[in-house]
Amino acid sequence: MRILLKFVIDCDPDAAWRALHSPRAVAELYGPVMDLAPLVPSGLPTAWTPGDDVPVQLSAFGSVPMGRQLIHVSERSVAEPGGRVRVFRDSGIPLTGPLASLDVWDHQMAVSPAPGQPGRTLWRDRLVIGGPTAPLLWPVLWGVWQWRAARVKALAPGWAHDPEPADA
């Protein structure tokens, strides 16, 4: 089963690509409803890199355990006529909790220049799930992905902000 989203956000593709690699930016997408905490002593990486396998604990509203998830990161880039499309993929799997009944979890987010809109990004989001409970979980995840899209749109303008140097 699939959930597909496609929309334009108010930041350039480089800023969106950096945000996809930032565990902090990803956590902001789900906050304050969902919290993402590392299950390894070293904590979350500063930036996701291809090959990362990071187990995390998900909690709703900061205290209700929602299960553990393994985040497995890969990426690729494709040259298209309208510009480069960069794809960030989490092909990890839910380990415990309600989503653990899924045996397929493939989340891909693609960013590219928005056609005819300089400085803006075309964001494509695809979640593929499978398993015996996928038909039951799909409507819930569809709703979460709609909310998530609204968060991406709201947060994207801040992704382009370059902080002032410390000595300024």
Q: Residue 11 sits in a domain of what CATH number? A: 3.30.530.20
83 φ, ψ (degrees, to nearest 5): 130, 175
Q: Is residue 55 part of a domain?
A: yes
Chain mean position to CA 48 = 11
Residue 141 has pLDDT above 60, yes or no: yes
Q: Is residue 165 part of a domain?
A: no
When pLDDT is cut at 50, 70 and 90, the band that residue 105 belongs to is very high
What pLDDT, on a 0 to 100 scale, did the predictor assign at position 63? 84
Domain span at residue 109 reads 2-159
Q: Can you tell me the distance from the alpha carbon of 142 to that of 9, in angstroms, rounded to the nearest whole number?
A: 20
pTM attached to this predicted model: 0.90
Quote the number of domains for the chain.
Answer: 1
Residue 164 falls within a domain, yes or no? no
167 is a domain residue: no
Is the pLDDT at 32 greater than 70? The verdict is: yes
Alpha-carbon span 121 to 145, nearest angstrom: 18
CA 56 to chain CA centroid, nearest Å: 14
Give domain status of residue 166, yes or no. Answer: no
- Of the pLDDT bands very low, low, confident and very high (cuts 50, 70, 90), residue 30 is confident
Q: Which residue is listed with tokens 């699939």?
A: 2
Q: Which residues pair with 55 in a beta bridge?
A: 70
Within 10 A of 1 (CB to CB), how many other CB atoms are there? 15
